Amino acid sequence: MSDFDSDDDIFKKMQAEDDEVKPIDIGAGAPSTRSPSPGSPPFHESDLINPAEEFRQEIPEEIASHMFDNDINFIRKGEYVDILRKDPTLRQLRIGGGWEQRAIEEDKVDIDLSIFFLDRNDKTREDSDFIFYNNQSGFEGGCKHGGDSRTGAGEGDDETVLLDLNALPFDIQKIMFVFSIYDEEMKGLNFSLVRDVFLRIVNEESGDEVCRFAFEDNELIGGNGIYVASLIREGPRWTFEAIGQFVNGGLAEIASKYGIIVQELQSTG
């Protein structure tokens, strides 16, 4: 008799081994025992591949290396971006605003970036919820204005604000970003005198740009104040909305709307 088992014995041995293997339960209704990281979106809203979707290849390296390029992050007026879904690591924000003088020979236009922290009634709770060139810090250092740029000269951001989302109390439901023209001599300066106006959000820790809202030059036809964009709080989520609404009356008009008593209307246009 051969030292090897017969074909029938081999088959029986393999069958017995198969019977010992326990199937893995991957039922769709089984709850996950893994706690999501703070601020992470539900699975059905995440960028993870849904089992119902067709197979998707990994993003090629040459594309992945440009995932934070401006053309990918550029958004238009009226659009929304869930910034924590776009970048789940985002906690420390740098809000940067920029512009350029349209013509060198024209009066210099001093544009200011200001921020209003609003409650559910769309109002500031107190004067310290208004961050601008004369009140450059709030929320115990959780928000810091980088200071006033009076010319817009040079590349990149002209004015910046650093913001720690975790420093904000829960009754802050909206953050409004505003541009206004400082026109102390009442010359009638307006946004038609500038070009390349933009606002962007950057992950301060990684340096990655999350989103950028830029105005077309043909949109800059008047007004001395702009409701540029807002961050809207929805539970752990923050949604960026590109607004682009122009107003007359400058920063005084906008501040009054949000419950700030303005003492010097002239200096705010």
Whether residue 142 lies inside any domain: the answer is yes
Residues in the chain: 269
Residue keyed to tokens 């879904």: 85
Whether residue 51 lies inside any domain: the answer is no
CATH number for the domain that contains residue 171: 2.60.60.30
Write down the pTM of the prediction. Answer: 0.71
- Read off the pLDDT of residues 113-132 as tens digits, 9 standing for 90 and up: 999 999 999 999 999 999 99
**How many domains is the chain built from?**
1
First to last CA, the chain: 106
Whether residue 33 lies inside any domain: the answer is no
Q: What proportion of the chain, given as a percentage, has pLDDT over 70? A: 68
Whether residue 132 lies inside any domain: the answer is yes
Whether residue 242 lies inside any domain: the answer is yes
- Read off the pLDDT of residues 25-77 as tens digits, 9 standing for 90 and up: 223 333 333 333 344 344 334 333 333 333 333 434 543 444 444 446 899 99
Count other C-beta atoms under 10 Å from residue 159's C-beta.
Answer: 24
CA 185 to CA 189: how far, in whole Å? 10
Contact between 251 and 121 under an 8 Å Cβ cutoff? The reply is: no
Whether residue 5 lies inside any domain: the answer is no
Instruction: Please determine, for residue 106, whether its predicted confidence score (pLDDT) is greater than 70.
Output: yes
Contact between 180 and 132 under an 8 Å Cβ cutoff? The reply is: no
